[in-house]
Structure 1
Amino acid sequence: MRVLITGATGFVGRGLIRACVDSGGVDVVAALRNAQGYAEPHVDAVIIGDISDAANNWGSLLEGVDVIVHLAGRAHVVGEAHAGALAKFRAVNLEGTTALARQARDTGVKRFILVSSIGVNGARTIGKPFWESSTPAPHADYAVSKLEAEQALCQIAQGSTMEWVIVRPPLVYGAQAPGNFGRLLKLVSSGLPLPVASLQNSRSMIARENLVHFLLLCITQPAAANQLFLISDGIAMSTPEIITHLAVGMGMKPRLLPCPPVLMRWGARLIGRQSLYTQLCESLVIDSSKANSLLEWLPPLSPDLALQKCGREFLAWKS
């Protein structure tokens, strides 16, 4: 089986490529913006440039490809001006995906796996979890562009032999995770007291290892065809619990101080970090039972062990 992976140098892409190579029986093609510094053994590297380039012609790069796992995308950039942001997200996440999906269909690719975002459903849950039948309610320009990409993929594949699979993960964590989780790792490792002891939220997340394990299943399982999946580690945790497990992995005692959540929310707004507060302090719970019932998938790593492993590996990586 020949599998083309976009976003090959990204946090999830690197893990997926290694897992595909280790699994055997998979001929991996890594689609890269440029080849500078890329040296993954047993992988065919191809240069595609900017995925938003309307002139991109995947052409011969797709010949013989059975499955595409589309990870490449434009994510939120801290401090980026809001003006024109949606157009920038659409250029990559919608138009880039649309162009690739059309050429994949016309070239005879059998399955197109799009890794989207739980942000398509919304930024938080109140009282009940998100599941596949939940009405989409994208909360930001990035999530809007991801929903539009999902809709475009389904429309392109309709009536053709190309199957689609859409995966909406929540926050993906690991020792080298970017964004807000990377900042949290640095805060925990600093030993500074963190004012989160009063939080009673519930967060669904997914370890990179668990997401990679699920994507491998989506590559091969016939039952995944033309399905949407919301996936997570399976057990939601509060922010104090998350920090405690990270600290344990780092060999540290967590230093958690009580602080009224309303003050934390106000402080985050004051310094322009509302998204950080939402992602780490409010609740977002996913029901991922469909993946279990349809594909018989269970996360190989429990969230407590995965977070502790993440803490250990972060210290090793930082040093």
Structure 2
Amino acid sequence: MSLLITGGTGFVGQVLVKRLGDEQVSLATRSDSTAWPKALVGITAVVHLAARVHVMHYTEADPLAAFRAVNVDGTLNLARQAAAAGVRRFVFISSVKVNGEHTEFGHAFSETDAPNPQDAYGLSKYEAEQGLRQMAAETGMELVIIRPPLVYGPGVKANFAALMRAVQRGWPLPLGAIHNQRSLVALDNLVDFIITCITHPQAANQTFLVSDGQDLSTTELVRGMARAAGVPARLLPVPVWALQAGAGLLGKGDAVQRLCGNLQVDISKARQLLGWVPPVSVEDGLRRAVRGGGHGLPSFVRNANKSAQ
């Protein structure tokens, strides 16, 4: 099989390329090129990882237009040319944000739920999914859509990396009384699932949610990071209401909502239809992520510590 991977030098793409090993793999770092014919010659499957990624604070006057230009227009442009070139399967890495931002405790998202994107990034991914489904129906090119939640592993950035560094440094964290449930996916698990979806016959024209298959509270996540790092977890049992109140005063309500809220996904479809089982445990995934390191202390933790004092 000959593959084209967009975003092949990124966080997920580098590991995917390494895992594919001897497969014939071509790489593209951008997704908004207007001319793909040369890159698509002889290609049997495309894995589309490249995207304008979610950010915490938008700087554009019209963030939705910026996301659409890459995540919708760029994706559909590539898919259209892939279908014309005879590519058999197009694997699109979407996001759980198409489902929404949070779930009720114990009620996980599934692939049959009505989409409910809440921000420009999630909406752009949803619109790309819609366009791809229509194109697949018109051209016969097989489509696989994968919606991962937060992906962690060696080289992870942003708040997850910063939280790992805070744990390793022994910072006291006001996260000892959070009893939420969140689904995450280890980088190696996501890559394994992508590889499964490249060739599995039952994956054709399906949408999948993917995770580690073991949900964690934020408190459990921090304890897991500490065990992986071989250090004690210094957790202060600050009530959620106090965190939320302090965060509201500091203008960090959204960050604490993500920290304290639930976001669970059901991977029963992947298990039953594809026979897929996450090969890496949460414990191993965290150990691998901790070895990759992180930088700084996340602002929501700094501010929460101040509000709790």
- Shared topology, TM-score over 0.5? yes
Structure 1 CA distance for aligned equivalents of residues 147 and 140 of structure 2 = 23
Which residue, out of 154, 173, 183, partners 2:152? 173
Structure 2 CA distance for aligned equivalents of residues 5 and 85 of structure 1 = 26
Asked if 1:265 corresponds to 2:265, the answer is: no
- State the shift of 1:245 in Å: 1.1
- State the shift of 1:174 in Å: 0.9
SS in 1 for 2:144: strand
1:217 alignment counterpart: 196
2:97 alignment counterpart: 119
Asked if 1:193 corresponds to 2:190, the answer is: no
2:272 alignment counterpart: 293
Deviations 1:190-218 (A, max 9, x none): 21111011100001000000000000000
Question: 2:16 is aligned with what amino acid?
Answer: L
1:98 alignment counterpart: 76
1:6 alignment counterpart: 6
Say how many residue pairs are matched.
293
Which residue, out of 249, 254, 264, partners 2:233? 254
- Map 1:54-203 → 2, pairs under 5 A: 56-81=34-59, 83-127=61-105, 128-203=107-182
SS in 2 for 1:114: strand
Q: In 2, are the aligned partners of 1:11 and 1:178 still within 8 Å (CA)? A: no
Structure 2 CA distance for aligned equivalents of residues 132 and 63 of structure 1 = 33
Alpha carbon RMSD of aligned pairs, Å? 1.6
Question: 1:253 is aligned with what amino acid?
Answer: P
SS in 2 for 1:139: coil
Q: In 1, are the aligned partners of 2:229 and 2:287 still within 8 Å (CA)? A: yes
> Percent same amino acid among aligned pairs?
45
- State the shift of 1:306 in Å: 1.6
Structure 1 CA distance for aligned equivalents of residues 202 and 19 of structure 2 = 21
Query: Which shows bigger deviation, 280-289 or 161-170?
Result: 280-289
Which residue, out of 208, 229, 232, partners 2:211? 232
Structure 2 CA distance for aligned equivalents of residues 156 and 272 of structure 1 = 42
Structure 1 CA distance for aligned equivalents of residues 74 and 257 of structure 2 = 29
Distance change (3 Å), C-alpha of 1:273 and 1:179:
farther
Query: Which shows bigger deviation, 305-314 or 221-230?
Result: 305-314
SS in 1 for 2:138: coil
- State the shift of 1:79 in Å: 3.3
SS in 2 for 1:247: helix
Question: 1:88 is aligned with what amino acid?
Answer: A
SS in 2 for 1:159: helix
1:18 alignment counterpart: 18
Question: 1:16 is aligned with what amino acid?
Answer: L
Structure 2 gaps of 5+ residues are 295-309
Question: 1:72 is aligned with what amino acid?
Answer: A
Structure 2 CA distance for aligned equivalents of residues 259 and 145 of structure 1 = 37
Higher relative contact order (CA 8 A, sep 6+): 2
- Map 1:32-43 → 2, pairs under 5 A: 32-33=29-30
- State the shift of 1:160 in Å: 2.0
Q: In 2, are the aligned partners of 1:180 and 1:276 still within 8 Å (CA)? A: no
Structure 1 CA distance for aligned equivalents of residues 239 and 282 of structure 2 = 26
Question: 2:229 is aligned with what amino acid?
Answer: M
Structure 1 CA distance for aligned equivalents of residues 250 and 40 of structure 2 = 46
Deviations 1:215-261 (A, max 9, x none): 00001111100000011000101111111111111110001101121
TM-score, normalised relative to structure 2: 0.90
- State the shift of 1:184 in Å: 1.6
Structure 1 CA distance for aligned equivalents of residues 78 and 292 of structure 2 = 35
